[in-house]
Chains A and B, each alone.
Chain A
Amino acid sequence: MDLNGDDLSGDGLSGDDPVVAVGGCTQFTPPAGVRQVRAPAGIVAYEPAEMTVRVRAGTVVAELAEALAAHGQMAALDPAVPDAATVGGVLAAGESGLRRLRYGPVRDTLLEARFVSAEGRMVKAGGPVVKNVSGFDLCRLLVGSRGTLGVLAEVVVRLQPRPAVSRWLMGAADPFAVRRRLYRPSSVLWDGEITWVLLEGHPSDVSAEASALGRGFVDAVGPPPRPPHRWSMRPSALPALAASASAGLDGAFVAEVGVGTVHRDRPQPVRPVDPLHERVRALFDPGRRFAAA
């Protein structure tokens, strides 16, 4: 049964059967045979002078972006598939966008979350204002938790002014030197040979920074296509990755320079975690109701 639509009575998560929270399913394939739960959709409250928005977690990112753009604002939610990904899905997946270098990780964008616990209770984390240290920071814990601690129902996210100009450029240049030369570019991507740069801001600043890149750079229509899998690597490990890729030892990649997210054609091997992570999960979901999407 979906929790979508008009029936928001809270019955959707009563009982104790296993459930899996799903958004647009752009990052994960939900496990077969497990009941799927979807959050409702729609903007609840948006006051541009507050630079925050309260939105139901099932809202499609592109729809939210359109409403915000009408007031010259944006959320730092930049999923790979904005027409399908939901706000709650992007947060639960912890999927930061290509502009993380400038706007920070998606985890910093969540101010308040209302989620349904494994016991079927509505729980609030954080608060609706842009700065808040009232209690423990459950919002950070929820971002990237893949629905294993609770099902996101409604969130308040921080907004930003939209830059006056956004301009992608590409050229054959050392991406690390490019990053050093520019003051806070929005994105620097690199496939081992070509460097893509996203400059955003005041028109004349963007022009000046584009000129500073040199004649080797030309305007690009956008970022390059990326392989589907995201790897998390130390930014300093990128030169070695490029060297092994050019030696034919590694497949194609697109790396986010200065961030360390690398888009590759195969998934990153599972990395071990401290038992503390399992203790957190067991305390939030003792009966293991939530299957990870």
Chain B
Amino acid sequence: MDERLAADLVAVLDKRRVRVESLELALYARDASVIEGRAGVVVFPNSTDEVQAVVRVARAHGVPIVPRGSGTGLAGGSVPLDGAVVIVTTHMDRILEIDEEERVAWVQPGVLNLDLSRAVAHLGLHFAPDPSSQQSCTIGGNVANNSGGPHCLAYGVTSAHVLAVEVVLPDGSLTMLGGLDPDPPGYDLRGAFVGSEGTMGIATRIAVRLTPLPPAVRTMLADFPTVEGAAAAVSGIIAAGILPAALEMMDAEITRAVEAYVHAGFPTDAAAVLLVEVDGLPDGVDAATVQIDEVCRDHGARHVRVAADLAERALLWKGRKSAFGAIARIAPNYYLHDAVVPRTRLVEVLTKVYEIAERHSLVMMNVFHAGDGNLHPLIVFDRRVEGVMERVHAAGTEIIEACVAAGGVLSGEHGIGLEKRDFMHLIFSPDDLDAQARLREAFDPNGTCNPQKVLPAGARCGDLQRIPEGAWI
């Protein structure tokens, strides 16, 4: 540990908010993934000024910085490497302003996702992105990861709900990206910053769009004897011209685990269940409910249950959102994957994913955002078993390759971080990666902000003289 660095940080914050104890350093050396790094110092600024001061001190010492919210990330995006300064934003947790007429809220980055929706519920509004970790993840973290969630199917991911971001750039200067007017001048640097996984600066104030709560909502649970039938029903619903608010699938293993955990009446003998929600004006919602019921039965659903009231609806969602709590009863560790495939290839990819798990003798469950093709294969294991981690990683690599082979992408909501950085070449050419590296270089020319994340080494310094297979299309 660099004592002069810590002393300089104490000078701009205070002793309590600059932590160098081994317990703290160990705690902040990891996120919710299985990846572990090494933190040099952990700091907890209270204000934009303090974030700027910390960034400048770290810069003066030539030490990289790593922004961090609640640490619920699953791809190692906020894992510090090589003794970086971890800047934790959880103390910056105030909702600064709520404008009911403009439907905009200004928040500090440490505000928890669900806390914002709770704070504006009495106005008939909510913050639409709803990742499963919404009780504990921060809005700053949502911005960094362009977070999704079940209801992003109809409402769009975080990027669609962020209007402006005040950012401390890696050189310590302050800038505002985006704005409250519809088309701020210049490039959409707001859009470029959202999802940049902490590599382009630290958000210190965020203006988010608030969305009206729908006047009518129906939540349905459809029970299928085959995974293929459930997946075909997903395509059938989309093809019928319905864009549900959410369209989730759970396979047999996870359904049984969840039912044992929450007792919501999930069918324990189903091969797969679909949780479908439609919302909007009442007659359109009723019509869509009838249509979805028909599509599900046409694809072999044994039963379609419509939640009778708010309590039943809440219970069904509790089942979906507590899936990861439920599996803790099965095995001590899990590895949650995240990839997206074209919706019409779901059946084919799922079949491959199960084969991969079987070949590696691993227990695999699937609970995912079927409506947008966002798979979340979940491998449960006990890491004390010798050799299991090798099998978990080998299976993970094969799952990614299968998704890419089907025309998919590496991540739908967890991000690239460290976990998938070295898979980026599977979907991007050297020229593609070079363009992304140029964007990052504009924000962070010295590469001191969350270095080594997202882009593989050498992305920017590819051989520019190389002539690619340069067809127009």
Contact = CB atoms under 8 A, between A and B. Distances in A.
Contacts of B69: none
A265 interface: no
A222 B473 CA distance: 38
A73 B243 CA distance: 11
Contacts of A201: 280-281, 284
B409 A120 contact: no
B441 A283 contact: yes
Contacts of A47: 342, 344
Given A141-B189, A141-B192, A276-B443, A134 B424 contact: yes
Interface string B129-150: 0000000000000000110100
A172 interface: no
B435 A137 contact: no
A67 interface: no
**Chain B contact residues: helix, strand, loop or mixed:** loop
Interface stretch (A26-34, A122-130, A189-197, A240-248): A122-130
Interface stretch (A16-24, A80-88, A101-109, A213-221): A101-109
Contacts of B471: 8-10, 122
A124 B468 CA distance: 13
B243 A160 contact: yes
Contacts, number: 258
A136 B472 contact: no
A279 B410 CA distance: 29
How many B residues touch the partner, as a band? Answer: 35 or more
B372 A131 contact: yes
A277 B188 CA distance: 9
B186 A277 contact: yes
A34 B175 CA distance: 34
Interface string B313-346: 0000000000000000000000000001111100
A270 B344 CA distance: 46
A136 B192 contact: yes
B181 A51 contact: no
B7 interface: no
B181 A135 contact: no
Contact of A143 (B188, B409, B413, B442): B188
A229 interface: no
A100 to B, nearest CB: 7
Nearest to A139: B191
A184 B154 CA distance: 13
Given A49-B238, A129-B373, A134-B411, A119 B195 contact: no
Given A50-B342, A124-B432, A143-B191, 17 more contacts: A49-B344, A105-B183, A121-B468, A122-B431, A127-B408, A129-B341, A131-B152, A132-B409, A139-B191, A140-B194, A183-B280, A209-B281, A234-B102, A260-B182, A272-B185, A273-B186, A276-B442
27 contacts: A47-B344, A49-B238, A50-B343, A117-B431, A117-B435, A121-B431, A131-B148, A131-B340, A131-B374, A135-B424, A137-B191, A138-B435, A140-B188, A140-B191, A140-B192, A144-B188, A176-B101, A184-B212, A201-B280, A230-B183, A236-B99, A256-B182, A258-B103, A261-B182, A261-B183, A276-B175, A280-B439
Interface of B: 99, 101-103, 145-146, 148, 152, 156-157, 159-160, 169, 175-176, 180-192, 194-196, 212, 214-215, 235, 238-239, 241-243, 280-284, 287, 340-344, 369, 372-374, 407-416, 420, 424, 427-429, 431-436, 438-443, 454-455, 464, 468, 470-473
